[in-house]
Amino acid sequence: MISNDRGWTALLTAGTLLCAALSLGPALLPRPQVPAVTRVNLPPPAALPAARAAQEPPSYPVTASVQPLISGRVNLNTATPEQLEALPKVGPSLAAKIIAGRPYRSLADLDRVKGVGPAALKTLTPLVTF
């Protein structure tokens, strides 16, 4: 029975020391060094004005052996499926839906095509014609 009391006493003493060490630990350890944060305002990116960017469709170089699928604005009423798929955000199924919805007279007509949302319409506006 004596050894059991000694065991409990040793365990309580160890627990007390552990609690004391944990409570004093932050005071005994050095504080971590925190880097200083400096915020610098960057200049705005140089970009084309939105009106100018909307008026100029991309044009791609042509060589004797390379003919781009699209160059300039794509006419939605006469474009092939391959030409429509070359447009951003247009895949094979959307190209088929665009062909099925012909003829187009305005962006409102294109907006009625299922799968053409506001983001796609904004991207396609400077690239297409009717």
Specify the amino acid at residue 8: W
| Average pLDDT of span 97-125 | 91
In the chain, what are the domains? 68-129 (1.10.150.320)
Interatomic CA distance for residues 76 and 94, integer angstroms: 12
Q: Is the pLDDT of residue 1 over 60?
A: no
Can you read off the two tokens belonging to residue 50?
């939105």
Residue with tokens 């499926």: 81
- Give backbone dihedrals phi and psi of 100, rounded to 5 degrees, phi first: -70, -25
Q: How confident is the model over 39-88, as pLDDT tens digits?
A: 888 777 665 455 445 556 666 666 677 666 666 788 999 988 988 888 88
Can you read off the two tokens belonging to residue 39?
């915020």
Contacts of 91 (CB under 8 A, 6+ apart): 85
